[in-house]
Amino acid sequence: MTVARSLRKKKLDGTPYLRRAVVEAEIEELAALSVSELVRRASLWPRTSPGFISSEALIYFTRNLSDGAHREKLTELLLLRLARRVPLVADASGETVSLTKMNIREDVRDHFVDLLLSDRKQYDDRLDYYEVNFNGAVAADRHDANARHWKHENRTVGLETEDGEVSTQVESAVGDYDPFDADELDKKDYRFLLDEAIDSLSEFQRRIVVMWRQDIPIESSDPSIESMCKVLGKSEKTIRTHRDKAFASLKLRLERKGKM
């Protein structure tokens, strides 16, 4: 283990950022553990669990452990902590309920991952605030992402009507959009980003998109032909509605990644 290093970031008055005394004491105590025991305790949840490690201490060790499987595991656990601090994007059934919330969630995570990667190359003092107040830092990131994305949504029309139907504007936006267009699939990184975007969909919409990719028809009058309606047990209208929502989501995500 590494001896706790001081934070480098300075406040506006020139004084350095300081961890809370309780976190400093926690880091000193945890530094005496084996790395495997540290990982075990980092996985404890909720915070009332005996041996729970604060997020501030967790990010300290994530930043300071040497490369290897243990640091990657701590990073994974830290990102799980982050995910608990940003809005959910699906309801109890797993259906995506807000593309804006999905974009906010992705923005907060992407920003934090970028900081971690930057810090691994060379000390990045922007991460220091997370060691001082992890929840406060994530809340600030959420605030910034909220401001960006809700402002954008307020300038655009929603994806659905009040009764849950796909709006005519979405139908127009999706148009003849096909995420599996051969020319698009030939573009650099497109296939990887598309698969990543598909994985982000709700389970129901993901299954529809995967079957669409496999050229399985939505409906068929031939009982011997497997169709989406038959496999998923839903009406043609329901399948088409969720296909359009899924395509709209994929299109927005890929546009954000600059791949369209």
- For residue 171, the model assigns a pLDDT of 54
Question: Measured between alpha carbons, how far is 141 from 113 in angstroms, rounded to an integer?
Answer: 12
Give me the percent of the chain exceeding a pLDDT of 90: 42
- For residue 89, the model assigns a pLDDT of 65
- For residue 182, the model assigns a pLDDT of 79
Comparing CA positions, the residue from 190, 166, 169 lying closest to residue 246 is 166
Provide the mean pLDDT of the chain: 83
Q: Which residues face 255 on adjacent strands?
A: none
Query: 78-124 pLDDT, tens per residue?
Result: 999 999 998 776 656 666 556 677 778 888 888 899 899 999 999 99
Comparing CA positions, the residue from 3, 5, 81 lying closest to residue 42 is 81
146 token code pair: 């909220």
- For residue 176, the model assigns a pLDDT of 67
Sequence-ordered list of residues with C-beta below 8 angstroms from that of 26, at least 6 positions apart, any chain: 53, 54, 57
Map out the domains of the chain as residue ranges. Answer: 21-153, 160-254
What does 159-207 look like in DSSP terms, one character per residue?
A: SB-TTSPBPHHHHHHHTT--TT-HHHHTSTTHHHHHHHHHHTS-HHHHH
Read off the pTM.
0.59
Do 256 and 103 form a contact (C-beta atoms < 8 A)? Answer: yes
Taking 50 as the pLDDT cut, the residues of the chain under it are: 1-2, 152-164, 166-167, 169-170
Do 111 and 76 form a contact (C-beta atoms < 8 A)? Answer: no
Question: Measured between alpha carbons, how far is 81 from 134 in angstroms, rounded to an integer?
Answer: 10
